[in-house]
Amino acid sequence: MGVAFGVRMQRRRFLTVLIATTMVWPVATNGQQAMPVIGLLCSASSRDYAPMIAAFLKSLGEAGFVEGRNVKVEYVWADEQYDRLPALAADLVRHQVNVIVAATTPAALALKPATRTIPIVFAIGGDPVRTGLVESLSRPGGNLTGAAHINVETAPKRLELMHELMPNVKVAGLLVNPTNPLANSVVPAVHAAAGLLGLKMQVVYAHNDEELDAVFASLPALGVGALVIGTDPFFTSRAQKLGAASLSRAMPAIYQYREFAAAGGVMSYGGSIVDSYHHAGLYVGRILKGEKPGNLPVQLSTKVELFFNLKSAKALGLTAPLPLLARADEVIE
């Protein structure tokens, strides 16, 4: 009986292992692959970046991958707390996702040192070579590539446009987020442009809503007659608030996106952030199909758009020069 009992027990163990293996690995035994997982790290919040994520998912679908159907997306939001990005990036890497989307430059800079193997596709508003993300635009090398729109580099041009609108202003303000690494390149570039225009530059800082309110309240005492808003994901998420604040506080200002001008800002000048996320979605699709990120050239959009809010200009007592209006892609009345 001892032998028979032992045989029965071994048979039970074999059947148990066989059943467990079949239950745990149904995809592998059917010759199918597990659903790929995309990690997405953004320095802003899901609410503020909804239009950008929608553009990304749309182009990802064009590449053959539909969220929830044949691909999964794990979203990680820093909610404008940039100091959390390194830890969030490390945690995302530990999950061993198939590819990571870096939404914004701070997110990309946090992800680059976190992994050299997982492909990273960025969507940013500055020069990825200058910020050290890739070696070159044509052959990025390594595990990073993506799409960029020129907005950091257009900050001096935004100052020039404000000077064209308000040539009598002697002191211009520059608003930057001190926690954003891009501030280190924006401030000296705008300072240099101010010197060429004969303007004094007053730099002001904000990285949350309370500081934004304090900045606008402090500008008259600083003698600031016009404000240039530097490139930053937090400012992008508050574009409408910034536009409305500039109008209500009678502080002519310029930012990079149409939403700012539509909400009351006098002007906006910059590249299309939605286009970058569209390109990023296409690249993620290509990488999921087997292409290497280092072989995919960075998609750099050099197109910039100028939007002018004529209604706000009149409310602030400003007369728009006809040559400036003629160059606008859209005049908001």
Q: How do residues 69-98 score in pLDDT, each as one tens digit?
A: 999 999 999 999 999 999 999 999 999 899
pLDDT 10s digits, 276-313: 999 999 999 999 999 999 999 999 877 789 999 999 99
Instruction: Verify that 114 and 203 share a domain, yes or no.
Output: no
* β-pair partners for 202: 173
Instruction: Verify that 260 and 278 share a domain, yes or no.
Output: no
Cα separation, 312 vs 318, in Å, equals 9
Instruction: Verify that 197 and 104 share a domain, yes or no.
Output: no
Q: What is the CATH number of the domain that holds 143?
A: 3.40.50.2300
**Residues in contact with 60: Cβ distance below 8 Å, sequence separation at least 6, in sequence order:** 38, 66, 67, 71, 281, 282, 284, 285
Confidence of residue 15 (pLDDT cuts 50, 70, 90): very low
Cα separation, 267 vs 253, in Å, equals 7
Instruction: Verify that 194 and 289 share a domain, yes or no.
Output: no
Q: Domain limits at 175?
A: 155-270+305-332
Q: Is residue 24 part of a domain?
A: no
- Residue 46 in tokens: 């899901």
Query: In degrees rounded to 5, what are phi and psi of residue 253?
Result: -145, 160
pLDDT 10s digits, 173-215: 999 999 988 788 889 999 999 999 999 999 999 999 999 999 9
Residue 96 and residue 115 in contact, taking contact as beta carbons nearer than 8 Å: no
Residue 58 and residue 278 in contact, taking contact as beta carbons nearer than 8 Å: yes
Q: Is residue 282 part of a domain?
A: yes
Instruction: Verify that 60 and 89 share a domain, yes or no.
Output: yes
Measuring CA to CA, which residue among 309, 303, 301 is closest to residue 325?
309
**Residues in contact with 291: Cβ distance below 8 Å, sequence separation at least 6, in sequence order:** none
Q: Is residue 145 part of a domain?
A: yes
Give the H/E segment covering residue 74.
strand 72-77
Q: Is residue 6 part of a domain?
A: no
Number of domains in the chain: 2
* β-pair partners for 145: 121
Instruction: Verify that 263 and 277 share a domain, yes or no.
Output: no
Instruction: Verify that 215 and 317 share a domain, yes or no.
Output: yes
Number of neighbouring beta carbons within 10 Å of residue 195? 11
pLDDT of residue 33: 59
Q: Is residue 53 part of a domain?
A: yes
pTM: 0.80
Cα separation, 160 vs 162, in Å, equals 5
- Residue 327 in tokens: 């160059």
Residue 62 and residue 282 in contact, taking contact as beta carbons nearer than 8 Å: yes
Q: Is residue 26 part of a domain?
A: no
Instruction: Verify that 187 and 282 share a domain, yes or no.
Output: no
- Please name the residue that has the structure tokens 């940013």: 124
pLDDT 10s digits, 323-333: 999 999 999 99
Instruction: Verify that 161 and 141 share a domain, yes or no.
Output: no
pLDDT at 5 over 90: no
pLDDT at 238 over 70: yes
Instruction: Verify that 247 and 192 share a domain, yes or no.
Output: yes
Q: Is residue 103 part of a domain?
A: yes
Instruction: Verify that 80 and 65 share a domain, yes or no.
Output: yes
Distances (CA, A) of 78 to 81, 86, 180, 242: 5, 10, 13, 21
Instruction: Verify that 132 and 193 share a domain, yes or no.
Output: no
Q: Is residue 80 part of a domain?
A: yes
